[in-house]
Structure 1
């Protein structure tokens, strides 16, 4: 089972074998394609699938008892994963079953582990920013996203949210001039109902 769109990019030079004439001209080529991880599971569970209907799903339950083996729907797997994530203390309103990698690595950083250690553990390059760009969801980002989502989909007439403004002050030694470069104050913001609400 090869997925042409996703696996074609994994081809390497060693996967291509050219057939040549005695003069060295290429007359043909063979591509050797490595099977994805899923096909290993399907191959190992082939005997268990013999009694299942043709339209069964790839995921199976009761693997320990061949007489009880049956398909599991993706939603069942998602619910099981969600329960495991909740038991691990992960906020499942922010992280769903498809974002386990993001949830676990963010949780590790929040628990005090260094970002470089998390990157090493997940086999991310230390020089790339894949983790920071796609997987790490700091608490303030989650809070801001939740406020925005709530203000968009809220039914109330006026939505009140609390925001944090930051302002820094630079103090010049030996001078009387101080300028603002950092600092922190909070303010409440009242957001009006979005314009499109009158059409809903």
Structure 2
């Protein structure tokens, strides 16, 4: 549902796949999507009032939040929204956490990994999503990972690395990872490490 609301101007409310109500607007030329209600929404209203040279009083902020809650009751529109990463057009898009840039990863060797400008995919803003310091000229270094992951064989490390990279493209053929070992050998610990690295949404516990 699109509408005009001061101090935001043109904005939108929609449901996500879980039925949560989301508020979308543009702040400082960056599209923001936050839950209704949430601390992020409170902060967003405050920042917008300041941007419009209005005093962000509690009564004014709560008045806007109440209006958004009332509008959200009527919403039936549904849209797909992600937190940290998602697949689209055979590419992996990663939310950098701030600004209007996203990281796009393709299997095309020519393009490879790119930092693309603009919101190609809708990501929800959250205080739990930190900013990713993406540096395109920095090569991956897994030394720290292998320091704590109980995998010492170089061949096994290569297989595991290939599995983790390929897992970023779930719509294609992919290998199945089988972790074996004696009790206490670190199978569960290794699995948790893989999930923390592979699942970029796991940034807060």
User: Normalising TM by the smaller chain, what interval?
Assistant: under 0.3
TM-score by length of 1: 0.24
Q: Which has the higher helix share?
A: 1
TM-score by length of 2: 0.24
Larger RCO, structures 1/2 (Cα 8 Å, 6+ apart): 2
Structure with larger Rg: 1
